[in-house]
Copies of this chain bind each other. A is one copy, B any other.
Amino acid sequence: MKQHLTSINDIAKALGVSASTVSRALKDHPDISQATRERIKAFAEKVNYRPNALALSLKKQVSFTIGIVIPEIIHHFFSSVISGIEEIAYGKGYRVMICQSNEDAKRERTNIQALLDHRVDGLLVCMSKTTSGFSHFADAFNNQVPVVFFDRVCKEIDTDKVITDDFNGARLITSHLIETGCRNILHLGTHPQLDIGQERFQGYLKALYEHDIPYNSQLAIVCDTMDAVSAQTELIKSLLPQIDGIFAVNDSTAIAAMRLAKSLGYKIPENIAVAGFGDDPVAALVDPSLTTAQQKGYEMGMEAMNLLLNRISNPETIHTPRIKVFEPALRKRQSTRF
């Protein structure tokens, strides 16, 4: 920004009028005569004048920028949420600033602070796995900067949220496994403190209960990434002989587990049926293709942005928090039986 893009003052000086006249002429204010108006407009066109968005934001106290905080952009789900957000934002003339927390609570805080420093008009947040406090969200909220959470939400803040019905999704998946013949289903889940993981685990339990299958706590282990599967290969190996199904908390974990089982000679889904969660594009491409629950990232992004826009446009209104729940659809594929 070393440059000096032509400002309204430059035009004023060049044409021997005042800056206010230029400003008014450019927006067809009736106070300006047609002659000068056309003269100014022509000149502005010629020098390719563009208003300084920074100055406008400062003056108008509205930045038309919204901040997004996500764990990692690299994950398909998050990048599709961003696409959904951007699609709506773009149409309404908003820009987005995206920050990654990398699942680090401290970085999440500094990101939020930086976005507030930039005077974003609102925030869209998916919490990191390690976030415990929530004062940074409260800060924003108290400063009249609307916040909408998506996917991993903050219970303590009373605002709009866009989530997947993790409980029912997991119940759906697990029921499907059971109804296609599984009785001993291994659950690869997250650490208990992660709400989403808890919900999915509860859905798993619920499905077992509904089908009169006793819960075997040895069949629920913490293992929610490909690396975790590698790290716990021996444990999983030792469990494989006694199971006939696997429900993993996400697709990549499911795929890793499936590969492991396959490599040991188990037939998928004949010996062991496998299901994931999320419907990552990989799920359709692996062999056998993976049964999973479809999470609608793009739509969730659009919905979150719409909720945020609603709050931004009606700052005076007292908003009763809306919780938008997206029901995941079962995507039956070849990794489970029929």
Contact = CB atoms under 8 A, between A and B. Distances in A.
Interface of A: 1-5, 48, 50-55, 57-58, 61-63, 65, 72-74, 76, 79-80, 82-83, 86, 95-100, 113-114, 116-121, 139, 143-145, 255, 259, 262, 281-282, 285-287, 315
B73 A82 contact: yes
B73 A83 contact: yes
A305 B16 CA distance: 42
Given A83-B72, A100-B83, A48 B117 contact: no
Contacts of A145: 1, 3
Contacts of A259: 285
Given A79-B73, A100-B86, A145-B1, A51 B285 contact: no
Contacts of A1: 57, 61-63, 119-121, 145
Contact of A51 (B55, B117, B282): B117
A80 B99 CA distance: 14
| Copies of this chain held together in the complex | 2
A116 B2 contact: no
Contacts of A117: 50-53
Contacts of A315: 2
Given A1-B63, A79-B74, A98 B100 contact: no
15 contacts: A1-B61, A1-B119, A5-B116, A50-B113, A50-B117, A52-B58, A54-B63, A54-B118, A73-B82, A74-B76, A74-B79, A74-B80, A95-B97, A95-B99, A96-B97
Nearest to A51: B117
Nearest to A62: B1
Contacts of A63: 1, 54
B61 A58 contact: no
Given A5-B143, A73-B73, A119 B80 contact: no
